[in-house]
């Protein structure tokens, strides 16, 4: 437990998002296999300090992907939720039937439960509001509720708090996790709009990279990407589906991929298999980007 309190991985100099297709799990017939595949994505997001996982509808206008998108989002949110809050925030849901096979993330936000007399002033914890109103209390993973001062969110709300220990009294205040100086966790988004519009949104904020076996080999772009990342506030990396690459998805949706991204990159040049699975591309791409950004910001 002592080591955990000092686990504060360095925060990137830019906001990192990955775009995952809703059809990620469509080729799997059993919920257990779907759960396992999403678990790989969640684990990659945590390992490589991703700030946001966006689940997009790659079959927008063709079929209703709500079920697949909601399944992926629900499993990812379950993984991201601290263990001591899972039951209160997630409850028992049919789509989480095989949650037991998911790998633990042990994110900085997954602080372990402990006694109230072990509270450390200044520590940050995820919490759920147990009682609102005049006297607001939260479950922050201690054996007793902690009084929240300065705000009164609705009961059942998830909040991020900073613990304060003053003259033997333990209370807490709300904080914005995006303001923390170290990596904390990732969030999940599910925009209900075409990929073109989603890419436009991300490009208005910063750099956008599309991954494709038809893209430029990553080794030719390392120096340029490294330089770009120094001045970019955000980076979004888009991945294709098990059946269609991003170029094919864009063509079917009526736009040219290169018009809506800054780079189309092949992060697995000279691949030894005819296709690369989405989850495999995620690991390969994030590992390379992690090396590039660490070298520039380290």
Q: Rounded to an integer, what distance in angstroms lies between the CA atom of residue 84 and that of residue 88?
A: 8
Q: Specify the CATH number of the domain 4-106+189-297.
A: 3.40.1280.10
Predicted confidence at residue 132, as pLDDT, reads 63
Q: Rounded to an integer, what distance in angstroms lies between the CA atom of residue 139 and that of residue 142?
A: 7
User: pLDDT in tens for each of the 298 residues of the chain?
Assistant: 445 556 789 999 999 999 999 999 999 999 999 999 999 999 999 999 999 999 999 999 899 999 999 999 999 999 999 998 998 888 778 999 999 999 999 999 999 999 999 999 999 999 999 876 678 999 999 999 999 998 888 888 999 999 999 988 999 999 999 999 999 999 999 999 999 999 999 999 999 999 999 999 999 999 999 999 988 999 999 999 989 999 999 999 999 999 999 999 999 998 898 888 999 999 999 999 999 887 555 4
Altogether, the residues listed in the chain come to a count of: 298
Distance of alpha carbon 80 from the chain centroid:
8
For the whole model, what pTM was predicted?
A: 0.93
Instruction: Report pLDDT digits (tens) over 151-191.
Output: 888 888 999 999 999 988 999 999 999 999 999 999 999 99
CATH 2.40.50.140 positions along the chain are: 116-176
Q: Are strands 234-238 and 124-131 parallel, antiparallel or unpaired?
A: unpaired
Q: Which residues have a Cβ under 8 Å from the Cβ of 203 and sit 6 or more positions away?
A: 236, 260, 261, 262
Q: Specify the CATH number of the domain 116-176.
A: 2.40.50.140
Instruction: Report pLDDT digits (tens) over 257-270.
Output: 999 999 999 999 98
Predicted confidence at residue 150, as pLDDT, reads 87
Q: Rounded to an integer, what distance in angstroms lies between the CA atom of residue 223 and that of residue 274?
A: 28
CATH 3.40.1280.10 positions along the chain are: 4-106+189-297
């Amino acid at each position: 437990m002592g080591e955990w309190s000092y686990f504060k991985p360095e925060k990137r100099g830019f906001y990192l998002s990955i775009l995952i297709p809703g059809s990620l799990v469509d080729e799997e017939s059993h919920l257990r296999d779907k759960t396992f595949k999403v678990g790989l994505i969640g684990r990659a997001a945590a390992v490589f300090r991703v700030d946001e996982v966006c689940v997009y509808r790659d079959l927008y206008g063709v079929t209703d992907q709500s079920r697949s998108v909601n399944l992926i989002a629900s499993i990812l949110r379950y993984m991201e939720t601290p263990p001591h809050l899972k039951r209160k925030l997630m409850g028992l849901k049919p789509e989480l039937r095989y949650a037991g096979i998911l790998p633990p993330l042990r994110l900085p936000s997954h602080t372990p439960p402990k006694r109230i007399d072990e509270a450390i002033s200044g520590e940050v914890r995820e919490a759920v509001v147990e009682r609102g109103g005049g006297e607001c209390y939260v479950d922050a993973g201690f054996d007793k509720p902690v009084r929240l001062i300065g705000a009164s969110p609705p009961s059942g709300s998830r909040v991020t708090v900073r613990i304060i220990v003053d003259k033997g009294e333990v209370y807490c205040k709300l904080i914005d996790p995006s303001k923390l100086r170290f990596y904390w966790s990732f969030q999940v988004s599910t925009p209900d709009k075409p990929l073109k519009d989603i890419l436009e949104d991300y490009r208005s904020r910063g750099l956008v990279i599309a991954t494709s076996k038809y893209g430029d080999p990553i080794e030719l772009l390392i120096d340029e990407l490294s330089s770009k990342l120094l001045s970019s506030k955000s980076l979004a990396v888009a991945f294709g589906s098990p059946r269609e690459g991003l170029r094919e998805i864009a063509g079917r949706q009526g736009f040219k991929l290169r018009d809506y991204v800054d780079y189309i990159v092949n992060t697995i040049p000279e691949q030894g298999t005819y296709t690369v699975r989405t989850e495999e591309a995620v690991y390969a791409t994030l590992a390379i980007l992690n090396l590039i950004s660490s070298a520039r910001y380290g």
